């Protein structure tokens, strides 16, 4: 073969190789673009758009575990349970040792009251090495709650009720038959948390309460909190403690922060958390998500009647001045 032919062949091979590299690079960029677009739509609860973008992303990278999990969750929120289950099953088949899809599928089965299957998926997730210690603790505690929830659901059916009486302990059954409801609840069931918010700056955007809890959200004036268009947000929660709901301060904190940590890991974004100080009956802590693109400073206070929990959230990092200001403000919170 002549030198000129060899050179031409080398050049042809090089061109083909470059084209392959460029195509691979374009596929990666296109995946990233569609995935980020889908993630944004998911966070904004625009699940229809999220489904379109995440499916587009999977066309470029069919084995993206995070895209599959996010797509399955989007289908679930759109009430397309068939597609949600299929997507989670695809994720499990591709990545059988990753725990997130098992939990998503368990959540889906739980929402359908298919408790036996849900419990099986949760228990499988807890056995996997990919699940961290805090997440294991959270889901083990959750499993106990789900079994009680299953008992309560079964009580709605007369035949199931008799079976559940034989299966579950007497005190657990009694807690759902209403025998202790009046005796164990307090007159002030939801409580009122007083916080010195500047009413010229903050306006109440949402309030929900029942006999077990109370939630109030405040946003900055002019911001549409109800449609998730906010830069800063204050959330005040109160949970009644009685025979139906018992917890400790440490347990409440671990379960709460464990759930947020798990959701952060599902997103693939970094998550940092830190306890600023802890006393016998209160915890003040902060967390940062996605390199401080979203931050929060919170205080949890435990009382004999209930737990109250105040969050100051911000899209972006707190300045040192804001941090000092909000910590001082959190300390003013009291329960009436």
**Residues 200-233: tens digit of each pLDDT:** 899 988 888 877 888 889 999 988 887 778 899 9
Q: What is the DSSP string of 260-323?
A: HHHHHHHHT--EEEEEEEE-SSEEEEEEEETTTTEEEEEEEEE-SSEEEEEEEEEESPPPHHHH
Both tokens of 297, joined, read 């400073």
Predicted pLDDT of residue 300: 94
- What pLDDT, on a 0 to 100 scale, did the predictor assign at position 158? 47
For the chain, what is the mean pLDDT?
Answer: 78
Q: What is the mean pLDDT of residues 176-204?
A: 61
Give 152's pLDDT tier (boundaries 50, 70, 90).
low
Under a CB-based contact definition with an 8 Å cutoff, are residues 172 and 148 in contact? Answer: yes
Rounded distance, CA 263 to CA 241, Å? Answer: 26
Task: State how far the Cα of 251 lies from the Cα of 9, in Å rounded to an integer.
Answer: 69
pLDDT of residue 170: 40
**What stretch(es) of the chain map to CATH 3.40.1000?**
188-335
- Is residue 51 predicted with pLDDT exceeding 70? yes
Residue whose tokens read 């989007």: 74
Residue 263's pLDDT is: 75
pLDDT at 226: 75
Q: What are the C-alpha distances in Å from 106 to residues 45, 122, 165, 224?
A: 21, 6, 25, 33
The two three-digit tokens of residue 156, written as one number: 């709605």
Is residue 313 a contact partner of residue 233, using CB atoms and an 8 Å limit? yes
Per DSSP (E only), the strands in the chain are 193-194, 202-209, 213-220, 232-240, 271-278, 282-289, 294-302, 306-315, 334-335
Element containing residue 6 per DSSP (H, E): helix 3-43
Residue 296 has pLDDT above 90, yes or no: yes
* 182 pLDDT more than 70: no
CA 113 – CA 119 distance, rounded (Å): 11
Q: What number does CATH give the domain 188-335?
A: 3.40.1000
Longest dimension (CA), the chain: 99
Q: Are 311 and 319 spatial neighbours (Cβ–Cβ below 8 Å)?
A: no
**Whole-angstrom distance between the N-terminal and C-terminal Cα of the chain?**
94
DSSP 8-state code for residue 224: B
Residues 144-170, mean pLDDT to the nearest whole number = 57
Which DSSP letter does residue 35 get? H
Higher-confidence position of 209 and 298 = 298
Lowest average pLDDT, out of 15-19, 56-60, 293-297, goes to 15-19
Q: Distance between CA atoms of 255 and 136, rounded to whole angstroms?
A: 10
pLDDT digits (tens, 9 = 90+) for 1-30: 444 444 345 435 444 444 443 344 455 677
Q: What is the DSSP letter of 179?
A: T
């Amino acid at each position: 073969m002549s030198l000129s032919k060899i050179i031409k062949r080398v050049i042809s091979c090089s061109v083909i190789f470059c084209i392959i590299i460029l195509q691979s690079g374009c596929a990666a960029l296109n995946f990233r673009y569609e995935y980020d677009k889908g993630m944004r739509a998911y966070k904004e609860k625009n699940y229809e758009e999220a489904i379109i973008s995440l499916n587009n992303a999977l066309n470029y990278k069919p084995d993206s575990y995070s895209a599959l999990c996010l797509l399955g969750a989007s289908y679930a929120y759109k009430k397309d349970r068939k597609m949600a289950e299929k997507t989670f099953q695809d994720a499990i088949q591709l990545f059988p040792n990753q725990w997130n899809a098992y939990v998503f599928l368990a959540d889906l089965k739980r929402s359908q009251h298919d408790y036996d299957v849900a419990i099986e998926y949760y228990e499988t997730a807890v056995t996997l090495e990919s699940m961290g210690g805090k997440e294991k603790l959270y889901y083990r505690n959750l499993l106990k709650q789900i079994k009680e929830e299953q008992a309560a659901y079964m009580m709605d059916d007369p035949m199931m009720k008799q079976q559940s009486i034989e299966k579950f302990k007497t005190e657990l059954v009694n807690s759902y038959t209403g025998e202790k409801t009046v005796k164990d609840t307090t007159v002030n069931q939801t409580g009122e948390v007083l916080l010195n918010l500047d009413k010229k700056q903050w306006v109440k955007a949402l309030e929900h309460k029942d006999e077990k809890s109370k939630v109030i959200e405040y946003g900055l004036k002019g911001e549409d909190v109800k449609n998730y268009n906010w830069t800063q947000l204050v959330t005040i929660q109160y949970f009644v403690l009685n025979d139906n709901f018992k917890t400790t301060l440490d347990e409440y904190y671990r379960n709460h922060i464990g759930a947020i940590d798990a959701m952060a890991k599902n997103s693939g974004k970094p998550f940092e958390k830190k306890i600023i100080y802890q006393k016998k009956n209160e915890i003040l802590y902060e967390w940062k998500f996605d390199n401080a693109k979203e931050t929060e400073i919170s205080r949890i206070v435990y009382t004999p009647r209930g737990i109250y929990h105040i969050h100051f959230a911000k899209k972006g990092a707190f300045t040192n001045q804001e941090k000092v200001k909000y910590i001082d403000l959190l300390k003013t919170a009291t329960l009436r």
